[in-house]
Structure 1
Amino acid sequence: MTDLTILIAVIALALWPLAFLVLRIRHERKKRRARLERMTKEELEDIGTEELVMAVLKKIGCQPETNEEGHIVFKYQGDDFYIAVEDEARFIMIWNPWWASISMDNPALPYLKEIVNLVNVDSLVTTVFTADEDEKNVGLHSKCHTVFTPKEGQLDEYLKAMLDHFFVTHDAIKQNLQQLGSAASESANQERTKVKGFAAYKENSTPLSSAEEEKK
Structure 2
Amino acid sequence: MEGWIVLGIILIVAAYFFGRIGYSFNDEDQEHSDYTKMNEAVDVAIDAEDNKTRNLVVKTLKEIGCQPEVDDKDRIRFKYQGEIFFIDADNNYQFVTLWDAWWLCIDCDNANVEHLKKAINSNNINTIVSTFYTIDEDSKQMGVHCKAIFMLTPSIVNKENYLKVILNDCFKAHDLLRERFIRLDFKQEKHEHRRVVVKGFN
Alignment of 1:21-100 (within 5 A): 43=47, 47-100=51-104
1:44 Cα offset (Å)? 6.3
Give, as a single letter, the amino acid of the residue that structure 1 aligns with 2:142.
Answer: V
Q: Could you tell me which residue of structure 1 aligns to residue 186 of structure 2?
A: 182
TM-score (norm 1): 0.64
SS in structure 1 at match of 2:77: strand
Q: Could you tell me which residue of structure 2 aligns to residue 169 of structure 1?
A: 173
Task: Give the Cα separation in 2 of the matches to 1:164 and 1:46.
Answer: 25
Q: Could you tell me which residue of structure 1 aligns to residue 106 of structure 2?
A: 102
Structure whose CA Rg is larger? 2
Q: Deviation digits for residues 187-210 of structure 1, max 9, x if unmatched?
A: 239xxxxxxxxxxxxxxxxxxxxx
Query: Identical aligned pairs, as a percentage?
Result: 35
SS in structure 2 at match of 1:151: coil
Task: Give the Cα separation in 2 of the matches to 1:188 and 1:45.
Answer: 61
Task: Give the Cα separation in 1 of the matches to 2:137 and 2:113.
Answer: 15
1:89 Cα offset (Å)? 2.4
1:46 Cα offset (Å)? 6.3
Give, as a single letter, the amino acid of the residue that structure 1 aligns with 2:166.
Answer: M
Q: Deviation digits for residues 43-75 of structure 1, max 9, x if unmatched?
A: 468621111111111111111001122110011
TM-score (norm 2): 0.68
Distance 1:184 1:47, change over 3 A: same
Task: Give the Cα separation in 1 of the matches to 2:49 and 2:55.
Answer: 11
Q: Which runs of 4+ in 1 moved over 3 A?
A: 43-46
* Aligned-residue RMSD, C-alpha: 2.1
Structure 1: gaps spanning 5 or more residues: 1-38, 190-216
Structure 2: gaps spanning 5 or more residues: 1-42, 194-202
Task: Give the Cα separation in 2 of the matches to 1:103 and 1:140.
Answer: 12
